[in-house]
Every structure is written in structure tokens, then in C-alpha cells.
Structure 1
Amino acid sequence: MGFGSYDETEQDNQEYDTDFEDDDGVSAEENAHDGDVEFEFTASNDELLDRLEDIKENT
């Protein structure tokens, strides 16, 4: 059988490993973190809007 050819017998000869162990993979809760995030903005709204306008002009 050449590269790219399709052989229907290959369809019947496939074996699948569906025996999954409970220890496989990563638990989503394993790395869960509880906490707070706080941001402190030092610029005023006007300064931020001016900066946004500068960015828009340069793109």
C-alpha cells in the first residue's frame, strides 16, 4: 500500500486503548487558588482617555 492510499482492511484492524486509569490526567481542583486581587490606579480617567486616543492615533 502506497503513501496516501486507503485500505478498508485497516479500518477493521484498529485497536483502541480505552482502559483509562483514575490517576491519569490533571485534576482541575488540584491547582485551585482562593484569594483576592486588588488594583490601584494612579492615573485619572482623563489621563487614561488621553492615552487611549494616543494609541488609536498610532495604529
Structure 2
Amino acid sequence: MGFGSYDESEQKDDNTDFDDDDAVNVHESEHDGDVSFESEMSNEELVDQLSQMKGGDDD
């Protein structure tokens, strides 16, 4: 068998009868998206650090 080939016996019809109770509820763990973190660095220091990480000189 070459690249991209498949065994047709693996393509048989599987049981696809699913019960709604087995489904995943995507709204189960919703949140408002509030994020906070603690840092002793100022915004300017954080931007400078990001600039260094990117390898650029924005001075």
C-alpha cells in the first residue's frame, strides 16, 4: 500500500446511534472572561520585555 491508501475493511459503518445524555455540554463551564494577574513590573517594562522577546528594538 502506498501513501494515502487505506484498508476499506476499516471503513465499515460503526454504530453512530448516540444518546443525548452522553453528549458534551459546551456551556457547562462558561465564564465572563475576566483575567487578572499580579506583577511588580510596569506596563512600560512589560512592553520592553515583549520587544526583547520578539527580538526588535523599539526604542
Q: TM-score range by the shorter chain?
A: 0.3 to 0.5
TM-score (normalised: structure 2): 0.42
Q: Which structure would you say has the larger Rg? A: 1
TM-score (normalised: structure 1): 0.42
